[in-house]
Structure 1
Amino acid sequence: MRHLLGAACALMTAATVQAQTIDRESIRAAVGAIDTQAIIDNDAHDRNWLNYGLNYAETRFSQLDSINTENVGQLGLEWSYNLNSTRGVQSTPIVVDGVMYVTGSWSIVHALDALTGEPIWVYDPEVPGDFGERGCCDVVNRGVAVYDGMVFVGAFDGYLHAIDAATGDRVWVTDTIENREMSYTITGAPRVINGNVLIGNGGAEFGVRGYISAYDAASGEMSWRWYSVPGDPSEPFENASMEMAADTWDPSAEYWLAGGGGTIWDAMAYDPDLNLLYVGTGNGSPWNQHLRSPAGGDNLFLASIVALNPDTGDYVWHYQNTPGDTWDYTSTQHIILADLEIDGEIRQILMQAPKNGFFYVIDRVTGEFISAEPFVEVTWATGYDETGRPIEAAGARSRTEPWETIPSAYGAHNWHPMSFNPETGLVYIPAQGVPLVQSTDPAWQLNSHQPMSTMSGVGWNLGYLFNVVAPEATPFGHLLAWDPVEQREVWRAEYVSPWNGGTLTTAGNLVFQGTADGRFMAYDATTGQVLWQTPVTSGVVAAPATWEHEGQQYVTIAVGWGGVYGLMQRATDRVGPGRVFTFRVGGETPMPEAEISDRLDLVEGVPYDPDHVGEGLAIYVSNCLFCHGVPGVNNGGAIPNLGYSTAHTLINARAWILDGAGVDNGMPSFADRLSEEDVTRLVAFIQGTADAVRPQ
């Protein structure tokens, strides 16, 4: 069905192109003029949105002020466009002279007339449906890059595509995955610097070796690759940085067999004056450091910010936020560059609020630590010493007892972009808390399906069990305005749920954000006062963009609930479809109707043997838990909670689990891993759990 929708869009597009007022030659000329200098020059006016984070500093601060605190309440819908998506939409649109490029789930690229929302072309990279199980966190994509007449997208299955910006035709495609026996994916947006297309990858939950690669924009040939963790120490090291890193790992557990992790799956920023590229690196493989590097060590370059030469990939400096990460405290979250006055001196700094709950200010010239303070409650560390090392709390690395780490692996701030307004001096962070209890998994074996070992049946290598005792913390989500100089909270806006969207701030003294409960909102950037809001068709996880055409300012948000938290949970009964919404002052287009969840009743009536429930639990935890959640606890997120499925679905479970009935939509066939007896036990667990939680 997913590919049929893409084909239908493509057929519709062929007819639509001829009716467009934007002709192909105009598009070719506009995008053909984009190079590194053009992206830098756009900073003078911000009329277009040419880079994932607007500019190379990734501030997501627009100088446009036609929409401001005085008139934002008059925003109305100009147009909306149906992405035909039921999974997560994380894209920030790129806008070039009235043409918009935005991605939906499954890495499908849509080129739209930005003034009307009419499609110009649709490009489907045709990611195989069965590749869905190779990603931890939904079949999402955060956007494209534009450069020299082309649109670049990193597809979920690891291929980097170059597309003609005017026609939607493929120019070239290259495979970025060096070892296809491992579960690499791409979800992040590429950046293009000095003619090189830069892209990283995900997969550390499964067991991969992280790296970032640069490809020649014209040909697709690889220019360089930098690894974030060392390989097999019996082999020659690729460079001096890998030799340095190897000294911080314990080789006794042969960490390289699980790849080591450190995937570079999101954050990038660039300083053209220093000619430095800044990347954030991910967690270890496996997560549990006791199993990955038993003697400890910092495990470079996990959970770090690394400065590289973008032309050669040479290492320049690093700062490690979380030495010896064992909590999935990735540092892949948004990096922002700015010049700030600190202690009476203007410093060239970078800022980051990664998963571990501390807000960092780092000298971007040298990597020198300046400050770090918690922006949410933190229990794994009490602070940082003057050298920039965390002061870990007692028991934060327990080998024997379960512990509730705050923040959890979901992060105090995840991939959802933050923004920095130089006029208010504040950073606007989508802060959150999702309770989770971790404990060492005594049965874990690398790449081995062990019943009760979390998601081991689909290749996850965590080394942890979760929530063997109930968490005590309460979930939360809020928009946080943070002063990076004083390192303190200025204001916050509370939400009903974690997993709210990224932020945009403007010279109109505004902050825009979408919410998990399906609203798009505007705040006074100085005070936090709510100035405007409107319902949209589902929860929002993506970040907005703003742009101008012929003197008119617009604000665009891509909507579609999903992501790792959104797969299992939701905060609204509006379930899509995924859409792109564009607003302007005075817009009068009616809002489209949302689809409402029909998952209202717990499944009942499917016969089962009560003796099979416990065995079914073990199979469920190792194969189903992180996609479908705990049966009956809620009715699910972007993926159905099976406790709220129909009796017909459970009776025909074999078709879904063994026969591949849902492969095109990302549900793998388990025919090579589970038996019919296993299916019988899974059904017993699902129906038995639904019966147990059903109100009497």
Structure 2
Amino acid sequence: MKKLIAFPLVTSLLGIAAAVHAGVVDTAAMLAVENDGSEWLSYDRTWSQQRFSPLQQITTENVDQLGLAWSIDLDNTRGLEATPLYHEGVLYTSLSWSRVLAVDAETGNILWSYDPGVDKSGARHACCDAVNRGVALWKGKVYVGTLDGRLVALDAKTGEPVWTQQTTDPSKPYTITGAPRVLNDMVLIGNGGAEYGVRGYFSAYDAATGEMRWRFYTVPSDPAEGPQATPALEEALKTWSDKTRWDLGGGGTSWDSMAYDPKLNLLYVGTGNGSPWNREIRSPGGGDNLYLSSILALRPETGELVWYYQSTPGESWDYTATQQLTLAELEIDGKPRQVIMQAPKNGFFYVLDRATGELLSAEKFGKVTWAEKIDMATGRPVEVPGSRYESGEPVTIWPSPLGAHNWHSMSYSPLTGLVYIPYQEMPATYANEGGDFVVHNGFNTGAGLENRELPREYATGALIAWDPVKQAPAWRVERPNHWNGGTLVTAGNLVFQGTSAGQLEAYSADMGAPLWHFPTQTGVIAAPMTYQHNGEQYIALMAGWGGSGGLFGGDAVQAAGARNVSRMMVFKLGGKAQLSAPPAAAPLPDRVPQPVVAAASDIDAGSDLYASYCMICHGVGTVGNGILPDLRYSSDAIRDAWEAIVLHGAFQNKGMASFADSLSAEQAQQIKLYIMQREYESWMSAKQTEAE
């Protein structure tokens, strides 16, 4: 079964009141789901964020019989990162631009849809695509965070808005892409925007009324404005220099992971990178800059800080600690320990006591060159000299800002004791912009990334089964490309992962033996989930290429031929449905590129401007990414309307904002010249390859 859905603000497609039977999702339900795998009630299934399902109808013995039960073709051209939730026969999920769907989990019939009407020109301040990682459920409501900073509560039966809160200052470049979490009748939401100069925080709202309960700022305010709001911020202030550029925001945005231990009554939140990345600019003279790149443990009733652990002190590389926080019980040195685990961007796998924050172990799970090791006596990294790129010379470092592990969900099986990590390996070349740093209305990293090309051999990936006790890999599946999807592990001894090459695959969880695959016709970045309905186990997946790695990736993401074909896919044993043929790719313009007649200085200026304003969405080196149009092959009509598009917002409704506040007509023309030169170079390279 295949369906195509478009989105008015609220669409009731089946008369819905009688069609959706959303019961009570509350504390009791969340505790019960730890052992009952029939429902998937939160982004990572449970508060412990293990992404492990106890369902075992689908096993290593019969997974080869898995087939498509139904699919929905979606009116969606940007990345799909959401994990659907399942409750009482209904799947709830989100698409790009913060849209929400409720779907009959057995048939694929769409019950309702909701579009918050996000101003798409705001995508200019979304570092990592106009994506959304999912929704939350609680007591008859569905909650979604919108790209423009709102938190919206919807009636789970109808999709009608119940209340809306603007959680951010709309005048500042905040965004929300993460899924809300709910506990103890509170909805928790963070935000992003550190690359554009904001101060990070996360907030708790009353689930019934939308009233804000508390807010925790992750970095201090300017001390010139008065005392800090909390003792935790007073302590943090001591780790920032007297010369701190408070006007640059500080960063520390909490844009993804949150976990909860109901026995300890502790909420765990991961925090993000500095604003700008380069500490030499942000906090001249040094300092750890708390609470950047940290795991925070708080009292959920008040937001009071109980303990913290900072994985990357003085963060300077975009090494966020917002990646998944997983709670588990491990036997360490012969004794059971209640732990919290994380594999953040910086490339070290951390195991901590989750009651106290004591570091128990930390080892590299991939290629890491910025630090030698973690000193267990201090809990701090032993940095490699020169890795902070203080000098004027560029320094190549692993991992890149995309991280050894990004937002793509990992999973943990208490049966195998292994963590399944979507690993990626690629470097970046950083350069200190300290002396020449100028704030502009684009990326403000201060790191002068020198990567203007990303060749296919530049980046690889792997599915790593990591033993958190031994701190070593148990098995590994190599991937020719990075930016592969999140993982799901089940009691059927199965690990599922989608790939950037357009496959959904299943492996044995204990040994890593390949057992099944299904061609998705698009690169997959989201993680699959599983549920049980009417006695049958299903696997569900949001498939649609995109996200920051897809947009930025250039030639490195072209090797798989990935492009966006957005679908919701649901599988079961014996499924016989078929995907429709993917839409044909847009034809290239019928022209022979000519050498660009322009001063070399103009083309060089265009290259620099493209890197500052365009590259994050349109790809390194102008190489198309399978999501947005490849600018090298823009039609003649587009090039004739270049100034109207770039400066006057002719395509704002498609997410292409006006840059009139940042670029002059001459600079817009220089960017066009650079893109035309890149088209000519690509054409010449192709001709040379044909000749060889």
For this structure pair, what is the TM-score category when the shorter chain's length is used for normalisation? over 0.9
> Which aligned pairs between 1:234-245 and structure 2 lie closer than 5 A?
234=224, 235-245=226-236
Q: Which residue is 1:17 aligned to?
A: 14
Question: Does the 8 Å CA contact 2:545/2:562 hold for their aligned counterparts?
Answer: no
Question: Does the 8 Å CA contact 2:236/2:289 hold for their aligned counterparts?
Answer: yes
Question: Is 2:449 aligned against 1:466?
Answer: yes
Secondary structure of residue in 1 paired with 2:86: strand
Question: Does the 8 Å CA contact 2:452/2:620 hold for their aligned counterparts?
Answer: no
User: Match of 2:237, as an amino acid?
Assistant: A
Q: Which residue is 2:66 aligned to?
A: 75
CA separation of 1:482/1:388 partners in 2, compared to 1, >3 Å: closer, same or farther?
same
Q: Aligned to 1:325, which of 301, 315, 325?
A: 315
Greater shift, 484-493 or 614-623, is seen at: 614-623
Q: Which residue is 2:326 aligned to?
A: 336
Q: Aligned to 1:94, which of 76, 85, 92?
A: 85
Q: Aligned to 2:517, which of 511, 514, 533?
A: 533
CA separation of 1:529/1:642 partners in 2, compared to 1, >3 Å: closer, same or farther?
same
Q: Aligned to 1:689, which of 671, 678, 683?
A: 678
CA separation of 1:194/1:98 partners in 2, compared to 1, >3 Å: closer, same or farther?
same
Greater shift, 221-230 or 642-651, is seen at: 642-651
1:175-215 CA-partner distances (Å, limit 9, x unpaired):
101x3332111000001010000000001111111111000
Partners of 1:636 and 1:600 in 2: how far apart?
Answer: 15
Q: Which residue is 2:52 aligned to?
A: 61
Aligned length, in residue pairs: 672
Partners of 1:217 and 1:663 in 2: how far apart?
Answer: 34
Partners of 1:337 and 1:549 in 2: how far apart?
Answer: 27
User: Match of 1:217, as an amino acid?
Assistant: A
User: Match of 1:546, as an amino acid?
Assistant: T
Q: Aligned to 1:628, which of 615, 618, 639?
A: 618
Q: Which residue is 1:585 aligned to?
A: 573
Secondary structure of residue in 2 paired with 1:584: strand
Partners of 2:435 and 2:285 in 1: how far apart?
Answer: 20
User: Match of 2:364, as an amino acid?
Assistant: P
Question: Does the 8 Å CA contact 1:375/1:488 hold for their aligned counterparts?
Answer: yes
> Which aligned pairs between 1:120-519 and structure 2 lie closer than 5 A?
120-177=111-168, 179-234=169-224, 235-254=226-245, 256-386=246-376, 387-400=378-391, 401-442=393-434, 444-445=436-437, 448-449=439-440, 458-467=441-450, 474-519=458-503
CA separation of 1:87/1:355 partners in 2, compared to 1, >3 Å: closer, same or farther?
same
1:70-92 CA-partner distances (Å, limit 9, x unpaired):
11000010011122111010000
Q: Which residue is 1:42 aligned to?
A: 33
**Aligned-residue offset at 1:623:** 1.6
1:37-57 CA-partner distances (Å, limit 9, x unpaired):
211111221100001100000
Partners of 2:338 and 2:282 in 1: how far apart?
Answer: 36
User: Match of 1:497, as an amino acid?
Assistant: N
CA separation of 1:198/1:619 partners in 2, compared to 1, >3 Å: closer, same or farther?
same
Greater shift, 604-613 or 264-273, is seen at: 604-613
CA separation of 1:691/1:443 partners in 2, compared to 1, >3 Å: closer, same or farther?
farther
Question: Does the 8 Å CA contact 1:603/1:643 hold for their aligned counterparts?
Answer: no
Partners of 2:620 and 2:474 in 1: how far apart?
Answer: 37
User: Match of 1:575, as an amino acid?
Assistant: R
Q: Aligned to 1:650, which of 619, 639, 656?
A: 639
**Aligned-residue offset at 1:604:** 4.6
Q: Which residue is 1:677 aligned to?
A: 666
Question: Does the 8 Å CA contact 1:606/1:651 hold for their aligned counterparts?
Answer: no
Secondary structure of residue in 2 paired with 1:186: coil
Q: Aligned to 1:639, which of 623, 628, 634?
A: 628
Q: Which residue is 2:656 aligned to?
A: 667
**Aligned-residue offset at 1:649:** 2.2
**Aligned-residue offset at 1:441:** 2.0
CA separation of 1:520/1:264 partners in 2, compared to 1, >3 Å: closer, same or farther?
same
**Aligned-residue offset at 1:238:** 0.9
**Aligned-residue offset at 1:469:** 8.5
Secondary structure of residue in 1 paired with 2:254: coil
Q: Which residue is 1:556 aligned to?
A: 540
Question: Does the 8 Å CA contact 2:9/2:115 hold for their aligned counterparts?
Answer: no
User: Match of 2:94, as an amino acid?
Assistant: T
Q: Which residue is 1:454 aligned to?
A: none
Q: Which residue is 2:690 aligned to?
A: none
Q: Which residue is 1:452 aligned to?
A: none
**Aligned-residue offset at 1:646:** 2.7
1:564-611 CA-partner distances (Å, limit 9, x unpaired):
111133344353331110000000111222234336579754785321
Secondary structure of residue in 2 paired with 1:241: helix
Question: Does the 8 Å CA contact 1:418/1:503 hold for their aligned counterparts?
Answer: yes
Greater shift, 336-345 or 244-253, is seen at: 244-253
**Aligned-residue offset at 1:495:** 1.4
Partners of 1:585 and 1:481 in 2: how far apart?
Answer: 26
1:503-530 CA-partner distances (Å, limit 9, x unpaired):
0000000000000011001000011111
Question: Does the 8 Å CA contact 2:145/2:176 hold for their aligned counterparts?
Answer: yes
User: Match of 1:380, as an amino acid?
Assistant: W
Secondary structure of residue in 2 paired with 1:543: coil
CA separation of 1:691/1:593 partners in 2, compared to 1, >3 Å: closer, same or farther?
same
Secondary structure of residue in 2 paired with 1:366: coil
Partners of 2:71 and 2:634 in 1: how far apart?
Answer: 31
1:531-563 CA-partner distances (Å, limit 9, x unpaired):
000111310000111000121000000011111
Aligned-pair Cα RMSD in Å? 2.0
Question: Does the 8 Å CA contact 1:602/1:643 hold for their aligned counterparts?
Answer: no
Secondary structure of residue in 1 paired with 2:142: strand
Greater shift, 402-411 or 570-579, is seen at: 570-579
1:363-417 CA-partner distances (Å, limit 9, x unpaired):
0000000000000011011111123111111111121221111111110000000
Partners of 1:469 and 1:197 in 2: how far apart?
Answer: 41
User: Match of 2:568, as an amino acid?
Assistant: V
CA separation of 1:78/1:564 partners in 2, compared to 1, >3 Å: closer, same or farther?
same
Q: Which residue is 1:110 aligned to?
A: 101
User: Match of 1:439, as an amino acid?
Assistant: A
Secondary structure of residue in 2 paired with 1:404: strand
Q: Aligned to 2:604, which of 614, 619, 644?
A: 614
User: Match of 1:291, as an amino acid?
Assistant: I
Alignment gaps of 5+ in structure 2: 688-692
CA separation of 1:600/1:431 partners in 2, compared to 1, >3 Å: closer, same or farther?
farther
Partners of 2:9 and 2:231 in 1: how far apart?
Answer: 49
Partners of 2:202 and 2:241 in 1: how far apart?
Answer: 24
Partners of 2:590 and 2:282 in 1: how far apart?
Answer: 41
Partners of 2:664 and 2:274 in 1: how far apart?
Answer: 32
Question: Does the 8 Å CA contact 1:503/1:543 hold for their aligned counterparts?
Answer: yes
Greater shift, 585-594 or 278-287, is seen at: 585-594
Question: Does the 8 Å CA contact 1:573/1:596 hold for their aligned counterparts?
Answer: no
Provide the TM-score with structure 2 as the length reference. 0.94
